[in-house]
């Protein structure tokens, strides 16, 4: 007599969820129970939790604030814009006229290649249309609009029509699946510490303290935290935001990428040591 077929993953999860959850907390409890029984792995659980969280979040929860927006001015020479684009490492930049409240379009970094290839180049004509959204828009709605329109960046405006910040499709997706590295980010399979420019280094927040100490000749302890990200969170006393800086033991740290849950990458610079006082 044939033995009964082994229940599939779907069958096992369906059996666990046979009781209809009464609310979101009940649903999360069932999902955690599925994780504990090895029905779903940690990554799947994290993605589901992130998707549920996104439906409750608004644009102002994840946007890059106005003060931290990296913009290009239409009055700036193209050579200077190119240098700025390389230094910042983004793929898209708001292009402004008289100020940050005057966003006239979005510049794609790759469009600058036409200029350096000697092709006909009109900076204003190269700009993509800017999309403006309110701070209160829900992230799940914004993600759907990004997918339909194929836009990757939106300018966030406040209730008075002023620019409050910007948000990208990565900012939304990272709330669900965690950090998404694009062609300008550190290679996931490459070194955690990589020279950026002018003696500055891009460093993954997950770099172990021991490796960081060896690279920068520092002596940070690793008794309470294992990574550079953990060190910075401890020093800030909270999860720092993109653009924030801190100096520790002769090293300047700037947050390059961060979301609402963790740090991703840093810009690190060894500060000049003060000359010893004459005896």
Domains within the chain, CATH numbers bracketed: 21-56 (no CATH), 60-177 (3.10.580.10), 193-270 (3.30.465.10)
Describe the strand order of the beta sheet including 103-108 as a list of residue ranges: 72-73, 92-96, 103-108
What is the predicted pLDDT for the residue at 183? 43
Structure confidence at residue 123 as a pLDDT band (50, 70, 90): confident
Question: Taking the mean position of all CA atoms in its chain, how far away is CA 108?
Answer: 18
Global confidence as pTM = 0.58
What average pLDDT does the chain have? 81
Residue 132 has pLDDT above 60, yes or no: yes
Reported as a single tens digit per residue, the pLDDT across 147-164 is: 899 889 999 999 888 999
**What's the first-to-final CA gap in the chain, in angstroms?**
95
Reported as a single tens digit per residue, the pLDDT across 199-232 is: 788 888 889 999 999 999 999 988 888 899 999 9
Does residue 113 or residue 33 have the better pLDDT?
A: 113
The stretch 19-30 carries a mean pLDDT of 70
The closest alpha carbon to 104, from 136, 71, 140, belongs to 71
The stretch 62-81 carries a mean pLDDT of 88
Helix runs in the chain, H state only: 9-16, 24-36, 42-54, 78-88, 113-116, 123-126, 139-149, 169-177, 209-216, 228-236
Q: Judging by beta carbons within 10 Å of its beta carbon (0-12, 13-18, 19+), is residue 96 exposed, middle or buried? A: buried
The stretch 174-200 carries a mean pLDDT of 62
What is the predicted pLDDT for the residue at 157? 94
What is the predicted pLDDT for the residue at 55? 79
What is the predicted pLDDT for the residue at 186? 46
Structure confidence at residue 278 as a pLDDT band (50, 70, 90): very low
Question: Taking the mean position of all CA atoms in its chain, how far away is CA 256?
Answer: 8
């Amino acid at each position: 007599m044939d033995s009964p077929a082994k229940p599939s993953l779907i069958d096992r999860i369906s059996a666990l969820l046979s009781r209809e959850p009464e609310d979101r907390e009940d649903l999360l409890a069932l999902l955690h129970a599925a994780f504990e029984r090895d029905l779903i792995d940690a990554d799947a659980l994290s993605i589901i939790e992130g998707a549920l969280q996104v439906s409750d979040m608004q644009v102002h929860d994840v946007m890059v604030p106005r003060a931290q927006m990296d913009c290009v001015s239409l009055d700036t020479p193209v050579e200077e814009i190119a240098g700025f684009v390389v230094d910042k490492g983004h793929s898209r930049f708001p292009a402004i006229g008289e100020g940050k409240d005057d966003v006239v379009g979005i510049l794609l970094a790759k469009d600058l290649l036409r200029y350096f290839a000697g092709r006909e180049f009109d900076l204003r004509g190269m700009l993509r249309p800017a999309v403006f959204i309110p701070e209160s828009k829900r992230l799940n709605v914004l993600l759907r609009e990004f997918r339909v329109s194929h836009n990757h960046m939106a300018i966030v405006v406040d209730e008075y029509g002023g620019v409050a910040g910007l948000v990208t499709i990565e900012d939304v997706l990272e709330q669900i699946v965690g950090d998404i590295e694009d062609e300008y980010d550190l290679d996931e399979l490459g070194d955690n510490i990589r020279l950026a420019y002018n003696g500055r280094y891009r460093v993954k927040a997950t770099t172990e303290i021991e490796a960081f100490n060896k690279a920068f000749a520092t002596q940070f302890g690793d008794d309470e935290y294992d990574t550079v990200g953990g060190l910075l969170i401890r020093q800030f006393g909270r999860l720092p935001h993109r653009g924030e800086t801190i100096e520790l033991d002769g090293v300047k740290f700037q947050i390059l990428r961060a979301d609402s849950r963790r740090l991703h990458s840093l810009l690190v610079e060894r500060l000049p040591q003060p000359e010893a006082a004459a005896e």
